[in-house]
Structure 1
Amino acid sequence: MPTVKQVCHHIRSKNAGPFWVTLDLFFDGPDNYRRYADSPVLGPELIERLYGADPRLVKKYPVPKLNMVKISYARTNVQGGEVERDMHCGQQFVRLLDIELDV
């Protein structure tokens, strides 16, 4: 099965304010976007498993014109808190790279 890094040409993560994180998956074309954007693998359960986020607070936004999916989730700790390890969330996307997608 293909992995996220094999079907996306760019993947990033960033702050969406002090209480939210956003993951952006830019698929490498419309075919892979149509094939994988709605994959149940990229759902709230995955975000809960990888990031400890409450699955009820995971939001998924398809952006077909950009062949992109945006996934936002509530942080488990506020930005800049005592246990912060990645204040700007710039490295959080790495956990997605080897996730296998189904069709």
Structure 2
Amino acid sequence: MIRLQDVASVLRSKNAGAFVLTIDIIFKEKVDYEKIVVGGLLQPHQIAAAYHVRSSDVLITPYPEVLSLKVTMPRHIGSGDLSDSDVYGAQQHVPLMLLDLPDAVA
């Protein structure tokens, strides 16, 4: 198993509006990007399980030119709500950072 934190140079989250969260994953090496993205190791259902959202609500957008992915999904609580503990969505990347993925390379 591998974790995204081991192959990504940047994992950051932020709001993409009051009700949407986006997570940027920027890979250190092209081989890691290709292993994860082209190899299909990161899928919406895995992210949905980690964040307790429907997999149909998870959008993964690849940016091969810059070896990155953008993951977009709904926030559970709108930004600025009285019960919101992370108004900027800046600490929401951790479940994705710790996500175990199968290591396709033996």
Matches within 5 A, 1:33-44: 33-38=33-38, 40-44=40-44
- Does residue 22 (structure 1) correspond to residue 22 (structure 2)? The answer is yes
User: Deviation per CA, 1:20-50, whole angstroms, max 9, x where unpaired?
Assistant: 0001111111111001124555322222222
Consecutive unaligned residues of structure 2, counting only runs of 5 or more, are none
Matches within 5 A, 1:34-73: 34-38=34-38, 40-73=40-73
Consecutive unaligned residues of structure 1, counting only runs of 5 or more, are none
Distance in 1 of aligned mates of 2:69 and 2:39:
11
SS in 2 for 1:72: strand
Which stretch has the larger CA shift, 34-43 or 74-83? 34-43
The number of residue pairs the alignment matches comes to 103
Which stretch has the larger CA shift, 45-54 or 74-83? 45-54
8 Å CA contact retained: 1:37, 1:68: no
Q: What is the TM-score with the length of structure 1 in the denominator?
A: 0.88
